[in-house]
Amino acid sequence: MEEKKKDITIYDLAQELNISPSTVSRALNDHHSIGKKTKKAVKKLAKEWGYRPNTLASSLRTNRSNTIGIMVSWINRPFISSLISGIENAARESGLNVIISQSHDNSDLEKENLQALYDSRISALIVSLAMETIDYSHFDLFSDSSIPIVFVDRIPLMNDVTKVHINNFKAAFEATEHLIKQGCKRIAHFGGARHQSIYEDRMLGYVAALKRYNLVVDDSIIIHANYLSAEEGTRITEKVLSLDNPPDGIFCANDTSAVSAIQYAKQKGVKIPEELAIIGFNDDPICEIIDPPLSSVHHPAVEMGEAAVKQAVSMLNEEAPGEPTERVLLDTHVVVRASSKRK
């Protein structure tokens, strides 16, 4: 009867119990200055009446929305969607809402949508940069208001920020090393936009591995694409395979291009992995679908999302806005499949 249409508020509870709304509020928040019996009574009634706090009112008053904003390039990419899935899980366990936004790998859209996220008073921001983004000034909006920012995977080239990512250098080193140990002598590298540290690091790890094993580093088979798409992958593969001195192995900075490489090579009658061993990066689901199955570097997407939330939460709980920037490095491992297994 009472709750015909209206939601229950602390005023309703207060009236019923003949106490003040302030007391109800404090009781529900376990404030120390409220008596035990009062707390019990309030909580009991709240449960009975199905009281649900109005988070809008609370957020307005406290200026904390208890919402995490996510800014990613494209939601519908295997890695990203798993990342988001991890974020959503962890956030909801911490009682936080998650609001998402896409940059479509476009800096302007990234900036615009960041404003929208800011306007909705998010408590913390988790970002994986747009491919294009080189300038990071549009994030000042958040740092100036001391809203925690956690960068994930595609992180900026700055030191004083919190980051959750993998050791791309090491992962790339290991992937390349794997190819070398399978007998490859001349390994090509398909990389992404070099201003994105993840791609730069993967290239550096690759180079380091070659040097470590005394192989020649040949720039003509190290190719970077701004968007390492399927089409680019095909184009690049065609390019390196038509060289006088084609590679006998390829380390691709993502699986999409690696799949293209496999498809193109198969079409040209190049035997995989005997004549050409291939390894990708991300361990997308397609790795197990393509024939031959694609070796890849496993990238813990869900865990990264969870770790990012963990960082954000701990930053929120710190009183000091002293920005104790942290850096979480997650483990990767090479998943060996038929595309690179020669022995």
Partner DNA sequence: AAGGCTTACGCAATCGATTGCGTCTTCTTT
Partner DNA sequence: AAAGAAGACGCAATCGATTGCGTAAGCCTT
Catalog residues that contact a second copy under the rule CB under 8 A.
5, 52-57, 59-60, 65, 67, 74-78, 80-82, 84-85, 88-89, 92, 97-102, 113, 115-116, 118-121, 145, 259, 285-286, 289-291, 301-302
Give the one entry of a second copy, DNA, none that residue 102 binds, where binding means its C-beta sits below a cut-off of 5 to 8 angstroms depending on kind: a second copy
Is 19 near DNA (CB under 7 A)?
Answer: yes
Closer residue to a second copy, CB minimum distance, 38 or 85: 85
How far apart (Å, rounded) are the C-alpha atoms in residues 328 and 165? 6
Closer residue to a second copy, CB minimum distance, 90 or 171: 90
How far apart (Å, rounded) are the C-alpha atoms in residues 270 and 16? 80
Q: Which residues of 185-202 are buried (b: 16+ CB within 10 A; e: fewer)?
A: ebbbbbbbbeebbbbbbb
Total H helices, total E strands in the chain: 12, 12
Q: Which stretch binds DNA (CB under 7 A): 19-27, 89-97, 104-112, 177-185?
A: 19-27
Are the CB atoms for 182 and 175 separated by under 8 Å?
no
Q: Which stretch binds DNA (CB under 7 A): 51-59, 88-96, 138-146, 303-311?
A: 51-59
Distances (CA, A) of 229 to 1, 8, 70, 261, 316: 60, 53, 24, 11, 37
Least Å distance, CB 82 to a second copy, is 4
Least Å distance, CB 46 to a second copy, is 13
Q: Which stretch binds DNA (CB under 7 A): 16-24, 73-81, 201-209, 246-254?
A: 16-24
Least Å distance, CB 230 to a second copy, is 9
Single out the residue of 11, 231, 243, 291 in contact with DNA (rule: CB under 7 A). Answer: 11
Give the one entry of DNA, a second copy, none that residue 67 binds, where binding means its C-beta sits below a cut-off of 5 to 8 angstroms depending on kind: a second copy
Single out the residue of 22, 115, 267, 314 in contact with DNA (rule: CB under 7 A). Answer: 22
Are the CB atoms for 147 and 172 separated by under 8 Å?
no
Edge-to-edge strand list for the sheet holding 222-224:
222-224, 187-191, 249-252, 277-279
Least Å distance, CB 32 to a second copy, is 26
How far apart (Å, rounded) are the C-alpha atoms in residues 95 and 33? 25
Angle of the 21-28 helix axis to the 10-17 helix axis, nearest 10: 110
Least Å distance, CB 308 to a second copy, is 15
CB atoms within 10 A of CB 220: 11
CA dihedral 87, 89, 93, 97 (to 10 degrees): 60
Closer residue to DNA, CB minimum distance, 31 or 211: 31
Is 128 near DNA (CB under 7 A)?
Answer: no
Give the one entry of a second copy, DNA, none that residue 113 binds, where binding means its C-beta sits below a cut-off of 5 to 8 angstroms depending on kind: a second copy
Q: Site residues for DNA, window 53-112 (CB under 7 A)?
A: 53-54, 57-58, 60-63
CA 182 to chain centre: 31
Least Å distance, CB 113 to DNA, is 20
Structure letter (DSSP) for residue 242:
T
Closer residue to a second copy, CB minimum distance, 2 or 244: 2
Structure letter (DSSP) for residue 153:
S
